[in-house]
A and B are shown apart, each in its own frame.
Chain A
């Protein structure tokens, strides 16, 4: 089962910019769009970014997404305490004909 690889953790001080990477392959990220989800512990995931770089209504513009080749990134600028959460990338994978999630990154605000 393919999986998208993320760093286990990332951190920054309030106001800093934090970037989270998501590494995939030619069967998922390279050919299909990436989405990102924020999960505060004890709550359901929330859609942050879809179609590589599109923010749903209500998501602050501090969150931005990008994609290049087989990798994608989520950037959080102007880090705030409420951004402490787990972040997951996801994409459709053509080889398994299903969705795959990233391994998840825990963001800490120091």
Chain B
């Protein structure tokens, strides 16, 4: 069974950098794609981006691309999220999830099969 656990500061000051870590057990961080998704209070889910360590592939939501970096640490079996220059609009529960990424007919089937419990990050002075 795959288990994911997000960790990091619950409060970040405006204009600073949000940093979260996702510790994975039950699966190798280097063998799969891993993603980050966020959910502002009372709102829907927003995909942030994903990483595939072995291929060096990263993809980011165009609306966040200029501020976000997702990385992986194979020695710790962790994925990390950094979001720079945060504002109150970045207040959300941040989830990490394992990705299944495969060809499907002439397109892709990409879905998130295991999720962490989420980490609430509030941006406030």
Q: Which residues on A are within 8 Å of B, measured CB to CB?
A: 1, 31-33, 35, 37, 39, 43-47, 50-51, 56, 88, 90-92, 94, 96-104
Give chain A nearest CB distance to B120 CB in angstroms: 11
Known contacts A33-B104, A50-B100; is-contact A1 B62 (Cβ 8 Å): yes
Closest to B96 in A: A44
Asked if residues B95 and A51 are in contact (CB atoms below 8 Å), the reply is no
Give chain B nearest CB distance to A92 CB in angstroms: 5
Asked if residues A92 and B116 are in contact (CB atoms below 8 Å), the reply is no
Interface locus among B22-30, B40-48, B76-84: B40-48
Asked if residues A88 and B45 are in contact (CB atoms below 8 Å), the reply is yes
- Counting from the closest, the 9 A-B pairs by CB-CB distance are A33-B109, A35-B111, A32-B107, A31-B107, A99-B47, A50-B111, A44-B115, A104-B44, A101-B45
Asked if residues A50 and B46 are in contact (CB atoms below 8 Å), the reply is no
Asked if residues B100 and A97 are in contact (CB atoms below 8 Å), the reply is no
* Contacts A1-B63, A44-B117, A101-B46 known; 20 new A-B pairs at CB < 8 A: A31-B106, A32-B109, A33-B110, A35-B109, A37-B112, A39-B45, A43-B117, A45-B95, A46-B115, A47-B113, A51-B109, A56-B113, A88-B45, A92-B107, A92-B110, A98-B47, A98-B59, A98-B62, A99-B35, A101-B44
Closest to B43 in A: A104
The complex places the Cα of A98 from the Cα of B61 at a distance, in Å, of 6
Closest to A3 in B: B44
Which residues of A are found within 8 Å of B44, using beta-carbon distances?
88, 101-104
Could you list 18 A-B pairs, sorted by A, with CB under 8 Å? Answer: A1-B62, A33-B108, A33-B109, A35-B109, A45-B45, A47-B112, A50-B109, A50-B111, A50-B113, A51-B104, A88-B44, A88-B45, A90-B45, A90-B112, A92-B108, A98-B49, A99-B47, A99-B110
